[in-house]
Amino acid sequence: MTALELDAVAKHYTTGGEIVRAVDGVSLTVLPGEIVALYGPSGSGKTTLLELAAGTQTPDRGTVRFGGVDLATLSYADAASYRRSLGFVFQRFYLHPGTSALDNAAMKLLFAGWTPRRAKLHAMEWLKRVGLEKRARHTPSKLSMGEQQRVVIARALAGEPKLILADEPTASLDTERGRATLALLSGICHERGVGMLLATHDPDAAAFADRVCDLRDGVLTERADHLPADRGPDVARA
Ligand SMILES: Nc1ncnc2c1ncn2[C@@H]1O[C@H](COP(=O)(O)OP(=O)(O)OP(=O)(O)O)[C@@H](O)[C@H]1O
Ligand SMILES: [Mg+2]
C-alpha cells in the first residue's frame, strides 16, 4: 500500500550556535485518498515536515517511509524518481511565465519523456477538469491568482502523483477562491485515491482535511473532534 509513514521523525537546525528543533518526534501516516492537515502557526515546522516527506531533507532521528520503503535507503536516482512521483502545490505557483497554461500543465509529462502531442492531450483533460479549457492558450500573467493555482493543480495531477504535498496552497488567494480551490483539490484527491499532506495556518483550509494534526514547535497532536468541511453536515444529520 502506498502510504506515507513518518515514525518518530526529528529534524533540527543549528544557526549561530542556537539549536532549533523544527520537527521534534513526529509520527504520522497518510493513507491513499486521505487528506491530512498540518495545522500550525509560522515557524511550527510545517514546511520542514513536508521536506522530510519529499525526501529533500533527511531526518536526524526516526524514519520516513513511502510504500514501506525507508527514503533514507534510496539511491540518488531512486530518490529523484520518488520526488517525480509526488505532486507539489505551493503558495507561490512557480509557473513558467512565458508559457501557456496548457504547456505549463504538460511540463511534468514532457520532462518524463511523453511526446508533446500526448502530453498536451493529457494536460488538456486536466485543464478541463479544473475548468480552464478556455484559458489553455493564456500565459500565467493573463490569468487570475485562482486560475493560476488551478493550472498548478492540473500540472500536479496530470503527472498522476502518488501523493500530494501542499504548502499553504491557498495563502495567495482570497477566502472564497481559497475555499473553491481546496474543494476542487480535495475532491480530486478523494475521487482518485491520492493522499495529501496539507500544511496550513488557515482554519478554513484545514477544514477540508479528513484529519487535522496540530503542530506547535515541531510537536504534533492529532485532533479527535474534527469534522471535514465537505462532510460535516452529513455527519451532523446522521
Ligand atoms: N534552513 C534553515 N536553517 C535554520 N533554521 C531553519 C531553516 N529552515 C527552517 N528553520 C527554522 O525551523 C523552524 C520551522 O520552520 P518551518 O519553515 O518548517 O516552519 P513553517 O511552519 O513552515 O513556518 P511558515 O508558516 O512561516 O512557513 C523555524 O523556527 C525556522 O526558523
Ligand atoms: Mg512554511
Determine the atom of ligand 1 nearest the C-alpha atom of 215.
Answer: 21
Q: Is the CB of 148 under 6 A from ligand 1?
A: no
17 burial via Cβ count (<10 Å: 0-12, 13-18, 19+): exposed
Question: pLDDT at residue 233 above 50?
Answer: no
What is the atom index within ligand 1 of the atom nearest the CA of 41?
Answer: 25
Q: What is the C-alpha to C-alpha distance for residues 29 and 4, in angstroms, rounded to an integer?
A: 6
Atom 25 of ligand 1: nearest residue by CA position: 42
Domains of the chain, start order: 4-92+162-222 (3.40.50.300)
What pLDDT was estimated at residue 135? 96
Measured in angstroms, how far is the CA atom of residue 92 from the centroid of ligand 1?
17
Ligand 2 center–CA 47 separation, angstroms: 4
Sheet-wide strand order for 4-15: 18-30, 4-15, 61-66, 69-70
Atom of ligand 1 nearest to the CA of 44: 21
Is residue 41 packed enough to be buried (19+ CB in 10 Å), middle (13-18) or exposed (0-12)? exposed
Task: Determine the Cα–Cα distance for residues 191 and 176; give it in Å rounded to an integer.
Answer: 22
**43, 219 in Cβ contact below 8 A?**
no
Residue 223: pLDDT band with limits 50, 70, 90: confident
Beta carbon of 43 within 6 Å of any ligand 1 atom? yes
pLDDT band of 226, cuts 50, 70, 90: confident
pLDDT band at 237 (very low <50, low <70, confident <90, very high): very low
Centre of ligand 1 to C-alpha 200, Å, is 13
The tens digit of pLDDT for each residue in 120-160 reads 999 999 999 999 999 999 999 999 999 999 999 999 999 99
Q: What is the pLDDT of residues 59-94, one digit of tens each?
A: 999 999 999 999 999 999 999 999 999 999 988 889
Region 91-99 average pLDDT:
91
Average pLDDT along the chain: 92
Per residue in 109-121, pLDDT (tens digit) is 999 999 999 999 9
169 pocket-lining for ligand 1 (C-beta < 6 Å): no
Distances (CA, A) of 232 to 92, 213, 222: 30, 18, 18
Residue found by looking up cell 509513514 in the block: 5
Distance 167 CA to ligand 2 centre (A): 7
φ/ψ region of 125 (left if φ > 0, alpha if ψ in -120 to 50, else beta) reads: alpha
Query: Which DSSP symbol is given to 141?
Result: G
pLDDT of 236 strictly over 80: no
Whose alpha carbon is nearest atom 28 of ligand 1? Answer: 43
DSSP state of 72: G
> Which pLDDT score, from 0 to 100, does residue 222 have?
84
- Which uninterrupted H or E stretch holds 70? strand 69-70
Using CA atoms, how far apart are residues 22 and 151, in angstroms rounded to an integer? Answer: 31
Average pLDDT in the 2-28 region? 95
46 C-beta closer than 6 A to ligand 1: yes
The number of C-alpha atoms within 13 Å of 235 and in the hemisphere containing its C-beta is: 9
Nearest to 106 by CA among 147, 143, 137: 137
Task: Quickly tell me which residue has 549561530 as its cell.
Answer: 16
8 Å CB contact between 20 and 13: yes
Measured from the CB, is residue 44 less than 6 Å from ligand 1?
yes
Query: Considering the chain, what percentage of its residues have pLDDT values greater than 90?
Result: 83
Q: Which atom of ligand 1 is nearest the CA belonging to 218?
A: 14
Q: Residue 155 and residue 195: Cα distance in Å, rounded? A: 16
Length of the chain equals: 238
Residue 217 φ/ψ, nearest 5 degrees: 50, 40
Q: Would you say the CB of residue 45 lies under 6 angstroms from ligand 1? A: yes
